[in-house]
């Protein structure tokens, strides 16, 4: 499983409209502000509000994007009366948690309706959704008390019961003027999209989060003030999913209409984990503290996009990492996901050895180590390369062959010298061959015959310096032996050839009886800067 990235939605929609709410401070019940049978009041003495919603990208279902939203049908209000300015010694004797209802004609009314007091000042505090009785959405309203009101929020276990909790910036010390409420979202919203498995998802949830706290309705600016936030819990709070959710394409929605998780704003702790359960699989946990996101903020929606499935990485092994004699092979693997902002996140993985149809088996011995996570993006694992062994019966004959000493491979059976690019060795011993070609050679020529019986080579040949080769008579060497050295370029059996040396005009090397087998090797001659000037195939 791989971990995915976060998307932070901060787009703000703002829409304003006007509506009326009517309040009186006396205890008589009146049907509306127009009902003046007991009081000589006029329209200007009714309480009125304007309402707007800021940061309106959140909700537990259909987003509440404006005050005219169909889901925004009421809110709660508390009013504090004072003869002078509001203070913490004042009690909420004026409006103790009353519900403001939206009428059919898009007006807003208190029931019972109320008027402004005759004199003094009133301070108003508002919240949504209105709480009364058993329908509390995890919200508890502070009792009528001295000082500013508070809400206590405890995250409901069922996501459909979690509210889009909003609070209004308080309007203090006003009298017979329009009460302009601006509501701010007090919670963070978390959702998910998934791709990559075609396997039905049983649930998606989050653990390791704080789930309760106190929210003051008296705050400045646009940030609701949370206090007494609880410690994190190990409980898994599951999101609401579309029934029989299976995912294959990137960005596939999986959230039901009321499936978004609404949580208290908080720093993302080291214990915060995303938990996803696919059918017929154990739950998978992914740390949420390893991303470039450090906190969930109020008024912001976060969509985590997850990509599931098995991802196969072909690991190329450097041949210099081990020898034919066997030994440890060290694999260095980087597995990461690059996120917005340039941060890379570790993706846990496991490793196993597989062989293709054209790959020999058994060249690794012992179990490969594996790693299934951790905070390091680059990790290592090791295995053991088995030593080379041969089962060819001809190898025994080669080992039993009579050893030779200083055998000159450039001297043929007739006793004359010749040169070649390939030589055959069929016994242990010490060998040598000439470094330079014998005879006259004309290259880069289209002629089939040349004067003086020169041998011809076709066009397009370059030397190790990248320049065209022209004519090489006997006195002009193919390679410059000044400060030259010999080296085994490759061999397909351990210690098949050892100790290659430039000795005068020759290269000498050794074939040991204990390691001779059927195989191939290439010996190169290098100049002082390490450039290969020529090479020979030893068979």
Residue-wise pLDDT tens digits, 211-258: 999 999 998 888 889 999 999 999 999 888 876 676 666 556 677 666
Secondary structure E strands in 142-236: 150-154, 166-168, 171-174, 179-185, 188-195, 201-207, 209-210, 212-216, 225-227, 232-233
Higher pLDDT, 440 or 90: 90
Q: What are phi and psi of 45, to 5 degrees?
A: -85, 0
pLDDT of residue 475: 38
Lowest mean pLDDT among 19-23, 89-93, 197-201: 19-23
On whether the CB atoms of residues 178 and 46 are closer than 8 A, the answer is no
* Chain segment 106-142, per-residue pLDDT in tens: 677 787 777 888 889 999 999 999 998 766 889 998 8
Question: What percentage of the chain has pLDDT greater than the value 90?
Answer: 26
- Write down the pTM of the prediction: 0.54
Query: Which residue from 14, 511, 4, 3 is spatially nearest to 299, judged by alpha carbons?
Result: 14
pLDDT of residue 24: 24
pLDDT over 70 (residue 339): no
Higher pLDDT, 478 or 25: 478
Lowest mean pLDDT among 307-311, 397-401, 410-414, 432-436: 307-311
pLDDT of residue 370: 54
pLDDT of residue 391: 62
Lowest mean pLDDT among 245-254, 276-285, 379-388: 245-254
Rounded to an integer, the average pLDDT of 393-414 is 88
Higher pLDDT, 278 or 48: 278
Rounded to an integer, the average pLDDT of 3-22 is 29
Higher pLDDT, 324 or 273: 273
> Which residue's entry shows tokens 């010996």?
523
Report in angstroms the alpha-carbon separations of 165 from 59, 126, 368.
8, 11, 52
Question: What percentage of the chain has pLDDT greater than the value 70?
Answer: 64
**pLDDT band per the 50, 70, 90 thresholds, residue 92:** confident
CA atoms of 491 and 512, how far apart (whole Å): 14
- Top-confidence range, 68-82, 122-136, 232-246, 519-533: 519-533
């Amino acid at each position: 499983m791989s971990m995915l990235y976060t998307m932070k939605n901060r787009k703000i929609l703002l829409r304003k409209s006007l509506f009326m709410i009517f309040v009186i401070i006396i205890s008589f019940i009146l049907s509306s502000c127009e009902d003046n049978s007991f009081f000589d009041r006029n329209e200007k003495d009714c309480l009125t509000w304007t309402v707007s919603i800021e940061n309106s990208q959140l909700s537990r279902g259909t987003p509440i994007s404006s005050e005219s939203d169909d889901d925004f049908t009421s809110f709660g209000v508390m009013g504090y009366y004072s003869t002078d300015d509001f203070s913490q010694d004042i009690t909420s004797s004026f409006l103790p948690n009353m519900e403001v209802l939206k009428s059919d004609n898009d007006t807003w009314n208190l029931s019972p309706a109320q008027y402004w007091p005759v004199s003094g000042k009133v301070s108003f505090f508002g919240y949504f959704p209105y709480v009364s009785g058993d329908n509390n959405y995890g919200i508890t309203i502070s009792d009528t008390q001295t000082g500013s009101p508070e809400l206590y929020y405890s995250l409901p276990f069922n996501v459909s019961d979690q509210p889009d909790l909003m609070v209004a910036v308080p309007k203090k010390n006003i009298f017979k003027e329009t009460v302009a409420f601006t509501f701010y979202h007090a919670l963070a919203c978390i959702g998910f999209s998934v791709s990559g498995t075609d396997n039905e998802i049983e649930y998606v949830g989050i653990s390791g989060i704080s789930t309760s706290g106190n929210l003051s309705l008296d705050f400045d600016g646009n940030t609701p003030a949370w206090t007494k936030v609880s410690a994190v819990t190990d409980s898994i709070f599951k999101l609401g999913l579309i029934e029989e959710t299976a995912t294959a394409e990137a960005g596939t929605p999986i959230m039901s209409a009321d499936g978004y998780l609404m949580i208290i704003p908080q720093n993302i702790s080291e214990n915060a984990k995303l938990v996803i359960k696919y059918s017929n699989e154990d739950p998978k946990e992914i740390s949420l503290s390893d991303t470039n996101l450090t906190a969930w903020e109020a008024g912001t929606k976060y969509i985590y996009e997850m990509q599931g499935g098995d991802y196969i990485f072909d690991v190329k092994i450097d041949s210099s990492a081990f020898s034919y004699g066997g030994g440890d092979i060290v694999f260095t693997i980087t597995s990461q996901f690059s996120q917005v902002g340039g941060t890379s996140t570790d993706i846990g993985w496991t490793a196993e050895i597989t062989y293709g149809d054209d790959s020999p088996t058994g060249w690794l011995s012992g179990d490969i180590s594996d790693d299934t996570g951790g905070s390091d993006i680059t990790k290592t694992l090791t295995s053991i390369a088995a030593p080379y062994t041969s089962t060819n019966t001809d190898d025994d004959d080669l080992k039993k062959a009579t050893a030779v000493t200083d055998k000159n491979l450039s001297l043929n059976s007739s006793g004359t010298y010749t040169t070649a690019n390939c030589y055959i060795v069929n016994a242990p011993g010490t060998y040598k061959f000439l470094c330079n070609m014998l005879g006259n050679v004309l290259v880069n020529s289209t002629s089939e015959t040349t004067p003086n019986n020169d041998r011809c080579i076709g066009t397009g040949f370059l030397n190790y310096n990248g320049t065209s080769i022209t004519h090489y008579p006997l006195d002009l060497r193919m390679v410059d032996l000044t400060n030259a050295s010999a080296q085994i370029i490759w061999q397909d059996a351990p210690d098949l050839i050892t100790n290659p040396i430039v000795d005068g005009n020759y290269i000498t090397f050794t074939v040991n009886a204990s390691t001779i087998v059927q195989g191939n090797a290439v010996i190169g001659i290098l100049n002082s800067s390490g450039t290969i000037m020529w090479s020979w195939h030893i068979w």
